[in-house]
Amino acid sequence: MPLLQINNMSHDFGGLRAVNNYNLETEPGQIRGLIGPNGAGKTTIFNLITGIYRPTEGDILLNGQSIVGLKPYQIAAEGLGRTFQNLRLWRHMSVLDHVKMAQYSKISYGLIGAFFGTPKRRKEEAEIEEKAYSLLKLVGMANLADQLIVNLPYGDQRRVEMARALATEPRILFLDEPTAGMNPEELIQMMEIIRRVHSEFGLAIFLIEHRLKVVMELCEIIQTLVFGEVIAEGSAEEIQNDPKVIEAYLGKETIL
Amino acid sequence: MVETNSSNSAANKTLANRIRDSFSQVPLLAWFCGILVAVLLERFVGDPLTELLGLPKIPALFGAVTVLKKPLLIPGTLAFLLLIYILPIIIVPRLCGPVLNRLAGWLFKVSPAVSVAIHLGLLYGILHLWADISGYRLLTLKLTLIAVIVTLSLNVINGYMGEFSCSHPGFMALGAYAASIFTLLFFVDDKVFGSALLPEFLGPFLFPVALIFGGLVAAIGAIAIAVPSFRTRGDYLAIISLAFMFIIKSVIENLEFVRGPRGLSSQPNYVDLPTMFIWTVAAVWIINNFVRSTTGKALNAVRDDEMAADAMTVNTRRTKIVAFLFAAFWAGVAGGLFAHVLRYVNPSTFGIQKLAEVLAMVYFGGLNSIYGSIVGAVSLSLLGEALRPLEIFKWIIIPLLLILVMIFRPTGLIAFKEFNVMNLIRPKEKI
């Protein structure tokens, strides 16, 4: 059974069909890519899967169970972690607090623990702190754990966001343009982190990217989305030579 | 010229640094001891000293009232303040700093809990001795401590959660009336509720139940705001909560069984200084516990980016409702205490002026900060009392201060700072 299966998903914004008849089957441990020109509906697909929008039609199955209609936090707790295109970090919180916060669903000390500081709370807080440190070490940010997030450079913020997404213990990680706005050095670091995360946790990863270098190097299967519709699906090589993809990105060749 | 200027400022800096260095090894324990010495001095040599300096009596609030009413007494008042307060508070910590630092270190090593208890004991001693001088001081102190609780609870919503709620006077009114009805019904023979249902000696023991009952009633009232307004974000909460405050006020004004606008009186005198102090410490402790837990920090996540909080498994709706009810509970408790401190309560107290006061304390002191709320509540309460002789000008000076704070520190005096008791009582390290 595929880990995540999407059947004929469509979504309308008023009269505009943003996503049309989208299908997906992801196996555990697979890295997939989603490319397409601006406004093609890539982020909308992420928002549909993670429950921010509810699809107009179609079904989303995680391990055979439908997750349509669940709240975003429930879907996240089911094992669909994500990052955002424009970061969405919490500007007044420290790096460590970011990664601790993402383990919210694992907390069981309840309100009594929160109000009175019971031993159970101390134990659980220590556990999630330890986990947070190990994740920060993985992305190379452990030495800056006490810093406020706004004091960090952009590339570091991206890495914290990655650690935060991993802290939700996802089975599939959705990365929305993980290398947007990065310089070449940061880009290589980020690709290294994605590879390490993939091999260490055996995660399935689904990423949106504009940089073809990243997609071509990392992904096993790539989908190309244009105006809400998948026009091509296949390996990096197949996509690169697909005339429809070339047309979507470069326009049609006209012979005068 | 430029050189001399810069060397001058360098000299100033070293002087400031030298002063800071000489006090860097002074732990909180030593400061408390210094203040304790000051209030003891006031108690034992205050009266002879006022006679010597030609003052009518011991200045109640650090001489502000005397100075504003009779400018001729300014030198005497300043001398009094210098001799009784400023000198002991500087000299004692300076002299005993190293010794007390070692003591604080030893206490901290033996048991942080004991150390906290000793600090709280000292703090209580200071407040008790200070308030013992006059009934006016005692009343001001109690009202200040109530303001601390209310400000803290409003900071949970307006600071930590980043919503704008205007309903705190309404919650206070609910708590005040609920607790008053509880005590009047059970422990007092009065005209409104008839004879006491329970023996009177049980009253002080069951008073916490009355306060908690008041808090719970306020929290139930808060559900009426929280459920509709937390479906969305934005200004809805501000509008709904403002409406709620006015509704509560006019409902109470029209309820004859609590005597409408005439208010309830003859509440029993249960709130002495120890009770007030214990409730304030409990409020600070529990609210601080809450906002420092991951459950409580979820409020900050919701405030800074709700969509991200959702995607990181935080149940945002539950988080917001819990925090709102929690804040309303403490406002209700504060209302109950307020009713029993004044021993009279009427609905017009809980109007727009109370709201302005509490909001000013929160934004003056600092958002998202326990220190800020304590500083804001204490400074504005004392300032409000001290500037009382200025009458109408008081309402020019305080808002002016608020505007200045908003210009120079838009989030308040001490915003976004964690309140860590262990760091406070820890002995100071050598630099």
The tens digit of pLDDT for each residue in A188-235 reads 999 999 999 999 998 999 999 888 888 888 999 999 999 999 999 999
Lowest-pLDDT range, A232-236, B67-71, B320-324? B67-71
Cβ pair A111:B295 closer than 8 A: yes
B107 and B207 in a single domain? The answer is no
Domain boundary among the residues B111, B131, B151 is at B131
- Cβ <8 Å between A164 and B312: yes
Does B2 have pLDDT greater than 50?
A: no
Question: Under an 8 A CB cutoff, do B310 and A72 touch?
Answer: yes
A36 lies in some domain: yes
pLDDT at B181 over 80: yes
Residues of chain B positioned with their CB less than 8 A from the CB of A104: 294-295, 298, 312-315
Which of B131, B152, B178 corresponds to the end of one domain?
B131
| Residues B124, B169 within the same domain | no
| Helices and strands in chain A, H and E counts | 10, 10
Q: Which residues of chain B does A77 touch, with a Cβ-Cβ cutoff of 8 Å?
A: 313
Q: Are A47 and A138 in contact (CB under 8 A)?
A: no
Is the Cβ pair B300, A90 closer than 8 Å?
yes
pLDDT, mean over chain B: 89
Contact between chains at B289 and A115 (C-beta distance less than 8 A):
yes
Q: Identify the pLDDT of residue B1.
A: 40
Q: Verify whether the Cβ–Cβ distance B312 to A167 is below 8 Å.
A: yes
Q: Cβ neighbours of residue B346 under 8 Å, at least 6 residues apart?
A: B261, B262, B263, B264
Q: Which residue of B has its CA nearest to A71?
A: B310
pLDDT at B217: 97
A38: domain CATH number is 3.40.50.300
Mutate to test the interface with A, among B291, B294, B324, B417 (most CBs of A within 10 A): B294
Domain assignment present for B409: yes
Q: Kindly report the nearest CA distance between residue B347 and chain A, in angstroms.
A: 31
Strands A57-62 and A65-66: antiparallel
- Angle B300-B303-B304 from CA coordinates, rounded to 5°: 85
Residue B234 has pLDDT above 80, yes or no: no
Measure CB to CB from residue B304 to each of A91, A107, A168 and give the nearest one: A91
ipTM over 0.95: no
pLDDT (0 to 100) of residue A66: 94
Contacts of B296 in chain A (CB under 8 A): 114
B269 part of a folded domain: yes
Say whether both B175 and B76 belong to one domain.
Answer: no
Task: Looking at the structure, tell me whether residues B140 and B209 fall in a common domain.
Answer: yes
Residues of chain B with C-beta less than 8 angstroms from the C-beta of A52: 307, 310-311
Q: Of B323, B354, B353, which Cα lies nearest the Cα of B176? A: B354
Answer whether residue B431 is part of any domain.
Answer: no
Q: Which has the higher per-residue pLDDT, A123 or B425? A: A123
Provide the shortest C-alpha distance from residue A116 to chain B (in Å).
6
Q: Are residues B41 and B188 in the same domain?
A: no
B312–A92 CB contact, under 8 Å:
no
- Taking 70 as the threshold, does the pLDDT of residue B277 lie above it? yes
In this structure, of A104-118, B16-30, B295-309, B362-376, the range with the lowest mean pLDDT score is B16-30
Helices (H) and strands (E) counted in chain B, each on its own, are: 18, 2
B248 & B111 share domain: no
Asked, for residue B276, whether it belongs to a domain, the answer is yes
Res A255: pLDDT? 67
Contact between residue A175 and residue A194 where contact means Cβ atoms under 8 Å apart: yes
Annotate B193-207 with DSSP letters as a single string: TBS-SS-GGGHHHHH
Same domain, B205 and B103: no
* DSSP-assigned beta bridge partners for residue B345: B264
> Is residue A136 one of the residues assigned to a domain?
no
What is the pLDDT, as a whole number, of residue B386? 87
Are A43 and A208 a contacting pair, CB within 8 Å? yes
Residue at which a domain ends, from B131, B164, B187: B131
Domain assignment present for residue A180? The answer is: yes
| Domain around B171 | 135-424
* Top-confidence residue, B322 or B387: B322
- Separation of alpha carbons B415 and B158, rounded Å: 12
Could you tell me if residue A141 is inside a domain?
no
pLDDT in tens, B99-146: 888 888 888 888 889 999 999 999 999 999 999 988 999 999 999 999
In this predicted structure, the answer to whether residue B13 has a pLDDT above a threshold of 70 is no
Report chain A residues whose CB lies below 8 A from the CB of B293. 109, 113-114, 117, 121, 125
For chain B, give the percent of residues with pLDDT over 70: 96
Confidence of residue B62 (pLDDT cuts 50, 70, 90): confident
Which residues have a Cβ under 8 Å from the Cβ of A52 and sit 6 or more positions away? A72, B307, B310, B311
pLDDT of B377 higher than 50: yes
Residues of chain B found within 8 Å of residue A109, distances taken between Cβ atoms:
293, 295
**Contact pairs from chain A to chain B, CB under 8 Å:** 102
Confidence of residue B64 (pLDDT cuts 50, 70, 90): confident
Residue A226 falls inside a structural domain = yes
Out of B289, B313, B368, closest to residue A102 by CB: B313
Q: Does residue B29 lie in a domain region?
A: yes
Rg for chain B (alpha carbons), in Å?
A: 24
Domain count, chain A: 1
What is the structure's pLDDT at B72? 83
Q: What are phi and psi of B287, to 5 degrees?
A: -65, -40
Residues B141 and B124 in one domain: no
Structural domain total, chain B: 2
Whether A195 is in a domain gets the answer: yes
Domain membership flag for residue A30? yes
The alpha carbon dihedral of B121, B127, B131, B137 has a sign of: negative
pLDDT score recorded for residue B50: 86
Range with lowest mean pLDDT among A128-137, B175-184, B233-242: B233-242
For residue A38, the enclosing domain spans: 12-89+153-250
pLDDT band at residue B77 under the 50/70/90 scheme = confident
Q: Which residues contact B309 (CB under 8 A, 6 or more apart)?
A: A73, A90, A101, B298, B301, B302, B316, B319
Cβ separation of B294 and A104 shorter than 8 Å?
yes
Strand ordering across the sheet containing A57-62: A16-26, A4-13, A57-62, A65-66
List of residues 6+ apart from B216 with CB closer than 8 A? B178, B329, B332
Residues forming a β-bridge with A81: A173
Same domain, B83 and B232: no
Of B304, B307, B308, the CB nearest to A92: B304
Looking at residue B430, what is its pLDDT? 63
CB-based contact, A128 to chain B, within 8 Å:
yes
B270 CB burial (10 A radius; 0-12, 13-18, 19+): buried
Q: Do B100 and B180 reside in the same domain of the chain?
A: no
Please report where in the chains the tokens 């988080």 appear, as a residue. B319
- Among candidates B305, B307, B322 on the partner chain, residue whose Cβ is nearest the Cβ of A111: B322
- pLDDT of amino acid B431: 57
- For chain B, say whether A69 makes contact (Cβ under 8 Å): no
Report if residue B127 sits inside a domain: yes
Residues of chain A with pLDDT under 50: none
Q: Each residue of B326-338: pLDDT tens digit?
A: 999 999 999 999 9
Q: What is the dihedral angle through the alpha carbons of A52, A58, A64, A65, rounded to the nearest 10 degrees?
A: 50
For residue B182, the model assigns a pLDDT of: 93
Same domain, B402 and B316: yes
A131 vs B: CB within 8 A? no
Q: Which residues of B224-256 are buried (b: 16+ CB within 10 A; e: fewer)?
A: ebbeebbeeeeebbbebbbebbeebbeebeeee
Query: What pLDDT was estimated at residue B8?
Result: 54
CA pair distance B129, B141, nearest whole angstrom: 12
